[in-house]
Structure 1
């Protein structure tokens, strides 16, 4: 394959994917509405087609203009998006859809692509735009991938868990980097052993390319850091990259209540472990970036940005009330 069309391509995963494809000597075209700054605007190796991916005519026009060997769909949030794209790009050598670990419908450790059941999705849920149906819609998109493959389309998908790294506009990890950078004592919910699988964004990008080149039609591949760390260990990784130390303060629901805080108010906290098996993707030759290296790049980008992630967790004043209670125990 020599040419690629990236639906999306200017913000987070798509931005890193474009760089990954350029590094692999693809001719790259991005297709989006042009609502965000294009980091590749001055790069003559990257073409740009403006249009709305939910408009089938615009998507068909992009297909004709770019004539790509591979298509990477970074912004398919509804099953209809996937069904339309697999029809329009049916003759391409590969179509890869970004699904989500949220598509899994049962809690088990680890979650495996061909064993763990997916979320159900009703007709009404398939068009709902709330966060509550996100995993359901992604699961239905995965079923659309399987259906397209049954019709002879070389369609595949990747299921990442929480994605982190440079240019993450969700600012989820930025909340914790900011806490470690600014405060000597950092409150975390529970005993610190919470595990929510994460994946470095550049590894998602390499997974997408590898799946397009080596994956099998109809297959879905989990991705995630090959080495998992707890929430507390993640803070220690952050502290090491900031060349500081962190005094982690554990707080249970009763202590957090003193600040009007719930454990679920903290981003990247999950009561039951969320772990994805990555063996299937690894069999294609994929590897994840060492955590220290991934965190170093992530912290560096945070320090160069104006992101603080403060909307992703409790106010510090509320935490100070919790610390005050804990200091009296």
Structure 2
């Protein structure tokens, strides 16, 4: 039985991860501030604390852990708290990162496009989401002596997406409201919340270290996405290039990653069509 700690395990793919690990027989502890109802399963326990608190991290660092999953590290200072707390206390550290570390976007972006090992970090400055993740990666890979893997996810969609990015588009289609997007044909990568959890679990059983891209096979433009929604909802989407409430799923240019490294290590990703069509059908039923 492995002893596993999860930061960010009470909702979305972190919640799914916690349940998967508990069901497989791991002894799982979720760190929570108590703001969200935690999952319930045999093998799950909870630690009341704050990921950004040095005292919480020191308390957790008094124990040994086989694996730590960190879904809520957003800057190099938070990375430092973890490195200071868990030196000599963890067998493997899995950091949830993002494709936003690739600032310029592009097609089939490989992991080497952003190399965190020589990257700079500033522990005092405030950072936006992408830069914060870049510098968090850099701090971990430069300062941690324990094994670290940084999983770079694209947009994660699922029925449990509290940001409702897919639902936003479904509601606008059903209400005959336009989708605001400057480029209808720029392609973007996705992954489901189910597969995000499955991939994180797989990483915990692998020996990989360093950054790794994870995304469903296949990419979609906002035009492709709305075509899928229209087929299910029996709507005809309209588009505008300017306006309020622009689509959160319409990049200005192509932005998707290459996942060859994960595949060569043995992981097989679903195709985006295999899960997104079902998700759209479910969300349309829920919001008609």
> TM over 0.5: same fold?
yes
1:156 paired with 2:149, answer yes
- Matched position secondary structure for 2:149: strand
- How far has the Cα of 1:155 moved from its partner? 1.2
- How far has the Cα of 1:265 moved from its partner? 2.0
Residue in structure 1 matched with residue 161 of structure 2 by the alignment = 168
Residue in structure 1 matched with residue 249 of structure 2 by the alignment = 268
Instruction: State the distance in 2 between where 1:300 and 1:30 align.
Output: 32
Equivalent residues of 1:73, 1:96 under 8 A apart: yes
Residue in structure 2 matched with residue 200 of structure 1 by the alignment = 192
Larger Rg: 1
- How far has the Cα of 1:27 moved from its partner? 2.0
Equivalent residues of 1:185, 1:247 under 8 A apart: no
- How far has the Cα of 1:202 moved from its partner? 1.6
Q: Which moved more, 1:281-290 or 1:156-165?
A: 281-290
Equivalent residues of 1:100, 1:160 under 8 A apart: yes
Instruction: State the distance in 1 between where 2:217 and 2:100 align.
Output: 18
Instruction: State the distance in 2 between where 1:62 and 1:24 align.
Output: 23
Residue in structure 2 matched with residue 321 of structure 1 by the alignment = none
Equivalent residues of 1:166, 1:297 under 8 A apart: no
Residue in structure 1 matched with residue 137 of structure 2 by the alignment = 142
Whichever structure has more helix as a proportion of its residues is 1
Instruction: State the distance in 1 between where 2:263 and 2:58 align.
Output: 34
Residue in structure 2 matched with residue 322 of structure 1 by the alignment = none
User: Which residue of 36, 49, 52 corresponds with 2:50?
Assistant: 52
Corresponding pairs, count: 286
1:222 paired with 2:213, answer yes
Instruction: State the distance in 2 between where 1:267 and 1:230 align.
Output: 12
Any unmatched runs of 5+ in structure 2? Answer: none
